């Protein structure tokens, strides 16, 4: 069982609409939780990083939330654009893991006209 699970697996939305991606994790304890955007065949690019004491972090149209009690995080994308089409990956950094990252399998988002 993956320690970081994401839902939905894939999502198609119309340009301009909002969407929310979910992440549930069992990794514990953790030092921070990150959301990455990965275009096909490219390396992941960091969107947000939250420590266990933070419960929200924004980066432009991207807003991440974290509930450390329920071990859930979400990534909300507002006013989606065609360029938002990518895989969005939730990543947990294990405390004392030497910056070893545990990745979810990602949500594949497609934004259409």
Single out the residue of 46, 55, 56, 59 in contact with another protein (rule: CB under 8 A): 46
What is the C-alpha to C-alpha distance for residues 42 and 77, in angstroms, rounded to an integer?
21
β strands within 1-106, DSSP E: 4-7, 10-14, 19-25, 30-38, 45-51, 56-59, 62-67, 72-77, 86-94, 101-103
Size of the site for another protein (CB under 8 A): 24
Between 66 and 91, name the residue whose CB sits nearer to another protein. 91
Residue with Cβ nearer another protein (44 or 64): 44
Task: Examine residue 53 and tell whether it contacts another protein (CB under 8 A).
Answer: no
Which two structure tokens, joined as six digits, stand for 76?
């909300």
Measure the N-to-C terminal CA separation of the chain; round to a whole number of Å: 36
Kindly state whether residue 105 participates in binding another protein, applying the rule CB under 8 A: yes
Residues that bind another protein (CB under 8 A): 4, 31-32, 36, 41-46, 49, 89, 91, 93, 97-106
């Amino acid at each position: 069982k993956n320690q970081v699970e994401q839902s939905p697996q894939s999502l198609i939305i119309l340009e301009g609409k909002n969407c929310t991606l979910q992440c549930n994790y069992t990794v514990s304890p953790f030092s921070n939780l990150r959301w990455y955007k990965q275009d096909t065949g490219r390396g992941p690019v960091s969107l947000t990083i939250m420590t266990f004491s933070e419960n929200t972090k924004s980066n432009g149209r991207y807003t991440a939330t974290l509930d450390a009690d329920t071990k859930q995080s979400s990534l909300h994308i507002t006013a989606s654009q065609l360029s938002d089409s990518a895989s969005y990956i939730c990543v947990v950094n294990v405390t004392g893991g030497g910056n070893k990252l545990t990745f979810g399998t990602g949500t594949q988002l497609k934004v259409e006209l």
